[in-house]
Amino acid sequence: MGESVAEATVIKWLKNPGDKVDADEAVMEIATDKVDSDVPSPVAGKLVEQLYKENDVVQVGAVIAVIETGEAEEVTIQPENAVNVDTAASNDNLYHESVPFTAIKDQPEAEPQQANFDDIPGIEQLEQRSVPQAPVFKAEGRFYSPLVRNIAAQEGISTDELDHIPGTGSDGRLTKDDLLNYLQNKTLSVAKVQNAPPAAADFTTPVQVNSSAEAPLPPAVEPQTVKNNDQQPTITPEAQPAVSTPQYAEPVSFEKAATPAAPAETKSERNTPASAPVAASISGTDEIIEMDRMRRLIADHMVMSKQTSPHVTSFVEADVTSLVLWREKVKNSFEKREGEKITFTPIFIEAVVKAIKDFPMINVTVNGTQIIKKAAINISMATALPSGNLIVPVIKKADELNLVGLTKAVNDLAGRARNGKLLPDEVKEGTFTITNVGSFGNVMGTPIINQPQVAILAVGAIKKKPAVIETKEGDVIAIRHMMFLSLSYDHRVVDGALGGSFVRRVADYLEKWDPARDV
């Protein structure tokens, strides 16, 4: 994603002009190229004016709403004061501060108003989950506002339980009302389950079992193939069994491995917001699937990068046998001592940092005809999210961290990225990116540059291969741990000699790993 946030999109107004608002009560939903978030009111009062409409793009620092309070002084809330992250229940990934409010204090102070939750938008109750009504959004890695997390903490709701609650906000986001309604339904459901009589077996019509070869088989479900999206196939009314008895059908074919159907929510239901359009079948196996907002932003950013930078990719194969054996030797003692698992990623980052010091012109950005040489070495690491999207947290001043510090930083940022707990400052100001295509079993790749950087390194899977080794006694063939490094770079400012030399230097640092190194 982009290195800085310059604008936000108004997704939804939660309050209308004339509505009373409490301090810290959500007034609107916004979206940036990094995160979605609720924007709370900095003061209690009455919303007088909305200065932007839904879907309008707002520049950072712009005033977006006017709120009346009880005193005669006009106060402009600056971006950095629009939300106090320190008072939030958790350090969520928020951009509240990028959209300020102006508070006009010339009206009598409004009485505090108790929030009314009687008309909360409908969400299926727990006791009704066996009857599919709407897709359930399992938003692994989605973001929660401080208010939602605070309520969840007070009510003892875990993050995993939050992930299972359907959201009515933009792209299935969980709002305060959604959570309060869930808590209310949860209490009612427990009472109903405790008082409910045992359920009777669901047999509406007896079925006689006939073992003869002439016995007719129940109607079969037409096989369907679903490509790449794990969507559950649609069964037409004609294919439904006429009675509530076991039916046998031809297996449904999936291009990806699929699990047997169960009464619980399916994967497609978990990953589809309640407001998202259902994929429409065109001709058997073809479907139209609307991109979600993050996927559209990623797509735009990738196209922009290819249009901005002439990409060139250089490849190097590295023998990392000493490194692999060293890690295998120290990983248990390291975890016991540091409380962290040491992966290959911090080792790769350390090698990249050393190579950047040797070739500082890799650590630059381009501004028109100017080349800006960056003083800090901030390593961005591409992290895949459970939803299938991508986010790139940044290790700031990576050159000032040793291997232990890099390990802790990698594990912390990757974990919080997947749980949606990154802060805005943790996804910007990167100067060089590493992406691990080996985690998907790929041996190499041609990654797209993360603008406005000028280079990105893809590290491939480590594979055992026969290789020729030079010894004092002559050449021998041995089984070695080998991997490919792929460096894509901006040919406007990085020539082949620089790009090729840089990736070769990274490989040298990995190949010459000291097997006796202490950590």
Torsion sign across C-alpha atoms 336, 339, 344, 346: negative
User: Which one, of 393, 396, 459, 438, lies nearest residue 420 by Cα?
Assistant: 393
- Helix and strand numbers (H, E) in the chain are 9, 24
Q: What is the DSSP letter of 156?
A: T
User: Which one, of 389, 225, 216, lies nearest residue 295 by Cα?
Assistant: 389
491 tagged catalytic: yes
Torsion sign across C-alpha atoms 201, 202, 205, 208: negative
User: Which one, of 420, 394, 391, lies nearest residue 146 by Cα?
Assistant: 420
Q: Can you tell me whether residue 513 is helix, strand or coil?
A: coil
- Selecting among 495, 508, 514, 518, the annotated active-site residue is 495
Q: Spell out the residues 6+ positions from residue 131 whose beta carbon is closer than 8 angstroms to its own.
A: none
Name the helix (H) or strand (E) containing 459.
Answer: strand 455-459
315, 339 Cβ separation under 8 angstroms: no
Rounded CA separation 418/292 (Å): 18
Pair of tokens at residue 172: 């299935």
Q: What is the full DSSP assignment across 167-217?
A: --SGGGPPPHHHHHHHHHHHHHHHHHHHHPPPPPP--SS------STTSPP
Total length of the chain: 519
User: Which one, of 208, 202, 203, 237, lies nearest residue 222 by Cα?
Assistant: 237
Name the helix (H) or strand (E) containing 435.
Answer: strand 432-436
Q: Spell out the residues 6+ positions from residue 514 whose beta carbon is closer than 8 angstroms to its own.
A: 322, 326
> Which region, left, alpha or beta, applies to residue 228 given φ > 0 means left and ψ of -120 to 50 means alpha?
left
495 tagged catalytic: yes
Pair of tokens at residue 12: 């939804």
- Selecting among 19, 481, 491, 508, the annotated active-site residue is 491
77, 25 Cβ separation under 8 angstroms: no
Q: How far is the CA of 121 from the CAs of 116, 309, 319, in angstroms?
A: 12, 47, 59
Rounded CA separation 393/245 (Å): 52
Q: CA geometry: angle at 471 spanning 444 and 319, to 5°?
A: 15
Residues with catalytic annotation?
491, 495
